[in-house]
Amino acid sequence: MATYDLEEQEQIDSIKHFWSDYGRLIVTGVVAFVLGVGGIQGWKYYKRSQAQQASVEFGKLDEAVAKGDIVEIRNVGGEIVDRFPGTAYAPMAALVVAKVERDDGDLDAAARQLEWAAQNAAGEEARMLAQLRLAGILLDQEKYDEALKALDADVTQAFVASYSDLRADVLVEQGKTAEARAAYQQALDESDETSGWRNVVQIKIDALVNL
C-alpha cells in the first residue's frame, strides 16, 4: 500500500509540475480556440445580417428607380454604400446611382460612384461593368488616356466585344484610325452574330473610311 501511495504521490507531483510549467499556456490556447470559433460564428452572423439589411434597402432602391425619384435614388443608394460596403449590394447600388448622376449631367459624381464600385465589387462581372461604364464617362470628359487605362483589363468573354467597341471609340477621338478599325473589328469578331448591335459597330467601321 505504501508503494502504491508513493507512486500515486509521484504522479500527482508530476502533474502539478507539468501544470505549473504549462498550465497557463494550455488555458490561453483553449480560450483562444473558443474565442476564435465564437468569433468566426459571430462574424458569419454579422455578414448575414448585413446582407439581409442591405437586401431590404436595395428593394427600396428598386422602388425609387421605378418611380424615377432621383433624390430617393441618391439617398437610398448612398445609404447602402455607406452602411453596407462589404455586401454585394453596395457596388450594385453605386452602379445605379452612377447612371442617375450621368443622366443628370454630373459626370464627376458618376465617375466617383463607378470608381468605388470597380474597387469594391466582389464579383468579376460587377467589376467589369463598373470599369466599362467608368471608361464611358472618361470618354465623355475627353480624358482619353484614362479611359484607355480603365479598359486595359482582363475581362471575361462576355465583355470582350463591349470593351473593344468602347476602346475603338476612344481611339477614334485620338485620331488613331487604324487602331480604332482593328478594335472595332475585334468587337465584331467577338460579338454574337445574331445581335443587332453588330450593325452599329459596322456603321462605325464604314465611317472610318472618311476619316
Per-residue pLDDT tens over the stretch 125-160: 999 999 999 999 999 999 999 999 999 988 999 999
Is the pTM higher than 0.85? The answer reads no
Alpha carbons within 13 angstroms on the beta-carbon side of residue 171 total 19
CA distance 192 to 189: 8
pLDDT at residue 18 greater than cutoff 50: no
List, for residues 92-102, the tens digit of each pLDDT value.
999 999 999 99
d(CA 100, CA 71): 10
User: In order of start, what are the domains of the chain with their CATH numbers?
Assistant: 30-152 (1.25.40.10), 154-211 (1.20.58.80)
Q: Per-residue pLDDT tens for 34-79? A: 445 454 555 454 456 667 888 899 899 889 999 999 999 999 999 9
> Rounded distance, CA 134 to CA 163, Å?
11
